[in-house]
Amino acid sequence: MDTERLLNRYQETRRNTLLICNPLERDDYQVQSAEFVSPPKWHLAHTTWFFETFILNRFIPEYASLEPRYGEIFNSYYRSFGKFHERPRRGNLSRPTLEAVLAYRTHVDAAITELVNIFPEDAEIARLIELGINHEEQHQELLFMDIQHIFYMNPLRPVYRVTSSPPVTLESKIGWIEIPQGLHRIGATEEIFAFDNERPAHDVQIGSVAIASRPITNAEYLEFMADGGYDDPLIWLAEGWDIAKAESWRAPLYWESDGSSWWHFSLGGMTQIDPHAPVSHVSYYEALAFAHWRGQRLATEYEWEVAAQKCDLKCGSVWEWTQSPYTPYPGYRVVRDALGEYNGKFMVNQMTLKGGSQYTPPGHGRPTYRNFYHPQMRWQFAGIRLLEDR
**Host H or E run for residue 109:** helix 98-118
pLDDT band for position 168 (cuts 50, 70, 90): confident
pLDDT band for position 369 (cuts 50, 70, 90): very high
% pLDDT > 70, the chain: 98
In this prediction, residue 1 carries a pLDDT of 60
Q: Contact at 8 Å (CB) between 238 and 299?
A: no
pLDDT tens digits, 236-258:
999 999 999 999 999 999 999 99
The answer, yes or no, to whether residue 164 has pLDDT greater than 60, is no
Rounded to the nearest integer, the mean pLDDT of the chain is: 95
| Whole-structure pTM value | 0.96
Distances (CA, A) of 190 to 128, 196, 327, 362, 384: 15, 10, 20, 21, 30
Strands 202-206 and 182-186 turn out to be antiparallel
16 phi, psi to nearest 5 deg: -60, -35
In this prediction, residue 312 carries a pLDDT of 82
pLDDT band for position 169 (cuts 50, 70, 90): low
The answer, yes or no, to whether residue 337 has pLDDT greater than 90, is no
pLDDT tens digits, 121-158:
999 999 999 999 999 999 999 999 999 999 999 999 99
Mean pLDDT, rounded, for 341-352: 92
3-state secondary structure of 373: strand
The answer, yes or no, to whether residue 167 has pLDDT greater than 80, is no
**Pairwise CA distance, residues 289 & 237, whole Å:** 8
The answer, yes or no, to whether residue 188 has pLDDT greater than 90, is yes
In this prediction, residue 340 carries a pLDDT of 79
pLDDT tens digits, 78-123:
888 888 999 999 999 999 999 999 999 999 999 999 999 999 999 9
HSE-CB at 307 with a 13 A cutoff on CA atoms is: 29
pLDDT tens digits, 353-362:
999 999 999 9
pLDDT band for position 166 (cuts 50, 70, 90): low
% pLDDT > 90, the chain: 88
